[in-house]
Chains A and B, each alone.
Chain A
């Protein structure tokens, strides 16, 4: 558990350092994710402590968004002024992008399956 947590933090730290050093456009944690993924590929398996620690963190992923969400307090005036464009943009864009992703993925998969079925 402790070793696994340290590994996660180490990956994030190395990610942050590389991002700063090479002025990369990707955020540190994303690079950390890629590093850990590459490490798992090289190793060829996941140890139980790492799997358990990752699952525990991800099980409560929703919790981690609460502090940022409560920040709505400091933007109350702006949200009150611009509630219509903000609400419409959030609702519209979220539904549109979900539908576009699902339909295009379904289309691409079917297209490829048809291609594969041809002799």
Chain B
């Protein structure tokens, strides 16, 4: 028996063993992300080379090539996914640091939050409905501007598909992070607090990650916007959908 013939079954045995442990999914996530960050830096910090987008493409490509189901991958990746919870709690730190500035702008911030939050929900549902999206897709679209764990919870409450919502949320974040600079420049918004806040309302955590790369001030206001929008949408959306369903039904 040649060496090559002996190696192949051995490798497939190792593969079967590895796919049964969380090690593979976890390592793949970290490697793909670091590759994505490397690409992002190589591009000179171009927002179009969004690290989340690149990492997702790499992960999906590798899983498809190896025929690995998403469920198997997520057994390992869930450890990274889980950290979204403590990271959300950790946002209290930048918020507290920016407290003096926040205090002076509280009412304008709350007003803008309401405008932005309603615009996000109404326009997502409206455009989806006008172009013929299915009912489940529309319900999954509604909370798309809110950070993942929260949006998934809301989607479940209003009859959407939480896992589809997660994908839509991540895509929203990528779109927002890429579009923020050209859009806000075109609107002649210069204040980093205003820029950060707008990105946080529209593009949650991924937008916030992008804002932190621009300045600590933009990041803190994006973080604030993301938290407030999560609370506002979690409170408003089930009520909106409840009213709409009872009206339509």
**Contact surface of A with B, Cβ cutoff 8 Å:** 5, 8-9, 11-12, 15, 25-30, 32-34, 36-37, 40-41, 46, 50-51, 53-55, 57-75, 78-79, 82, 84-86, 88-106, 108-109, 111-112
Contacts and interface: CB of A to CB of B under 8 A. Distances in A.
A72 B167 contact: yes
Contact of B238 (A25, A34, A58, A96): A25
A106 B227 CA distance: 20
A69 B92 contact: no
Given A25-B238, A68-B170, A89 B208 contact: no
Interface residues of B, number: 109
Interface of B: 25, 29-30, 32-33, 51-53, 55-56, 59-60, 63-64, 70, 73-74, 77-78, 80-81, 83-97, 105, 107-109, 111-113, 115-117, 119-120, 123-125, 127-128, 130-134, 137, 141, 144-145, 148-150, 153, 157, 161, 163-164, 166-173, 175-176, 179-180, 183-184, 187, 189, 191, 194-195, 197-199, 201-203, 205-206, 208-209, 212, 219, 223, 225, 227, 230-231, 234-235, 238
Contacts of A34: 92
A67 to B, nearest CB: 4
Q: Is the interface of A mostly helix, strand, loop or mixed?
A: helix
Contact of B173 (A65, A78, A111): A65
B75 to A, nearest CB: 10
B90 to A, nearest CB: 4
Contacts, number: 313
A98 B183 contact: yes
Contact of A61 (B87, B108, B180, B189): B87
A32 B73 CA distance: 29
Given A8-B86, A28-B85, A89 B51 contact: no
A41 B32 CA distance: 39
A59 B219 CA distance: 10
Given A29-B88, A33-B91, A72-B167, 15 more contacts: A25-B234, A25-B235, A27-B150, A34-B92, A62-B51, A69-B167, A85-B133, A89-B127, A90-B171, A93-B172, A95-B179, A97-B120, A97-B123, A98-B179, A101-B225
